[in-house]
Structure 1
């Protein structure tokens, strides 16, 4: 990129004398294009998902409650996208003032780590429904899940307020920077916040989610029957597990890893102009993280048969008809199993009985 080439050719006059820092470089226009594209698609998908939850599903299960709050956390980032795009178009210059900068940072934190927390809760809920289906759990109770979601929003609000209070704009050369690695006055704050978010906001939830989905995969792998229904349930569960792990690994891991590298370089190796390349990679990781807004609606289709039924019912009003086939029935069977632990038990008992008869 131009920023990399120019960084390698910088004369000493463009480097600050006190710490040999490389100058701020404008980011490539592709970052702006992809950023707007991702958030625009995510806005329409999540707006449609929220409409389905609010207007087309009269009674929510505990799983639907978690999915609704995940959709809200995805939609909350939408107002920030135009400001971020303008920031990049103007050459990494923030013209909107300190308040909107602080609000942008708070909403980004709430969005990214809200999505991670609700995805983790969904993984725990599915673990209890599929693996621990014979045992009672508060995660299967709608009232408890609603209180749990309220608690998550309080934690997210506290994180957002903390970032709103501690972070601000800075003048770097002739540019006003907002949430930039070049804000040397905030590098210690960025360093501390990063590791808190990395450990508590990503690594711990990611470990819990992976553990849950590994157990789900093992449980479903024991369903060994020769019927089409059994194969459909296994295939659907594998797709759901794969989608959740892809969201964690593709969307959120690069953001946390690259940001950690960036703050370490800025704090301990500020004279290295490779920081400019890491900064560009960091902004691309924002795009990957924002892509979870586009992928999460697929989870609602995998995880809630009421959501799928509501979509089908809405499209039928526009004379869009669906051809019935055995795969559709298997999809509904698996989605219903996720929504209802009792149906999981029924499926597993029937599967084991059929397997014994075939033997």
Structure 2
């Protein structure tokens, strides 16, 4: 199962180190940009803030995973530490998925149905929605505490958070299929449907409004929407499709040892791809939000120049108009 240990012990720590540094720096910058605007926070900013926090917490859990892979899939810290590490990993991965879904629904309501569901965008309601998301993710991941997440292999290595360690769980295939549907299929369908309607609405507005059409604002907005959707699909789809197809096959017949080995290797690759999302989110903020872009460029300018010119106050506004002006 771990014949690729020699290569993985070099490549995986290298990739995860890049994800750690880029993700932590990018999301801390995003938090720095959002923080001054908390006094007049709106729904989109609130969802973005929670997404940034989940990304930061996720990246802070990576050093232990980097050490684990560098030691050739060996976890010397015990079962309790393995469970805590796994819990942090999964909570913040799927919190990110859910807050990206909330952002897509929020944009859909703001542009397509601004009057009918305006109450859902009130900050008092959004706070409860965010709390509900965290509680939902906790409810989905806390059962992991009842499972053994580490296992001592025949060669003396102790693995942590590897799929074979979960094979002893009753009805594991059905459990994971359900988890994929709730944690991936429903969110990705929601995101794609919301953004599809949003693109259609923006195109309709552009056709019926010469000024909007000439400015290219809607074309930019559609480009940003496609970019956000593409990043989500590319990062999250391979892992969940891989998991889903193997579990369906497992329900039909018992996979061979070679099939399990191939699945184990593919999981390591697709998990890396999924985790890249935490360091890609800040780039999405940069291109999607004019306020974020403006303030970030201003911050770098102040850091690299000794002469500080007086700059008018620019408050980030994460509205649909800002996305359009991207």
TM-score interval (norm. to shorter): 0.7 to 0.9
CA distance in 2, matches of 1:198, 1:185: 17
Indicate whether 1:38 and 2:23 are aligned. Answer: no
Indicate whether 1:252 and 2:210 are aligned. Answer: no
Of the three residues 68, 77, 82, the one matched with 2:58 is 77
Of the three residues 192, 197, 219, the one matched with 1:215 is 197
Aligned 1:97-108 pairs, distance under 5 A: 97-108=78-89
TM superposition shift of 1:35: 1.9
CA distance in 1, matches of 2:229, 2:184: 13
SS of 1:132's equivalent in the other structure is coil
Range 28-37 or range 64-73, more displaced: 28-37
TM superposition shift of 1:302: 4.5
CA distance in 2, matches of 1:253, 1:195: 14
Aligned 1:271-350 pairs, distance under 5 A: 271-318=256-303, 336-338=319-321
CA distance in 2, matches of 1:230, 1:196: 47
Paired residue total: 311
- Decide whether aligned partners of structure 1 residues 190 and 81 sit closer, same or farther in structure 2, where only a CA change above 3 A counts: farther
Contact 2:148 2:166 in 1 (8 A): no
Of the three residues 123, 144, 150, the one matched with 1:142 is 123
Normalized against structure 1, the TM-score is what?
Answer: 0.77
Deviations 1:144-170 (A, max 9, x none): 111100111111222232212324212
Q: List structure 1 runs of 4+ shifted beyond 6 angstroms.
A: none
Q: Tell me what 1:120 maps to.
A: 101
Question: Mind listing any 5+ residue stretches in structure 1 that lack a counterpart?
Answer: 1-21, 322-331, 348-359
Contact 1:107 1:160 in 2 (8 A): no
Indicate whether 1:195 and 2:177 are aligned. Answer: yes
TM superposition shift of 1:175: 2.0
User: Once superposed, what is the RMSD of the aligned Cα atoms?
Assistant: 3.0
TM superposition shift of 1:254: 0.9
TM superposition shift of 1:286: 1.4
- Decide whether aligned partners of structure 1 residues 184 and 296 sit closer, same or farther in structure 2, where only a CA change above 3 A counts: closer
SS of 1:177's equivalent in the other structure is strand
Contact 1:57 1:310 in 2 (8 A): no
Contact 2:37 2:316 in 1 (8 A): no
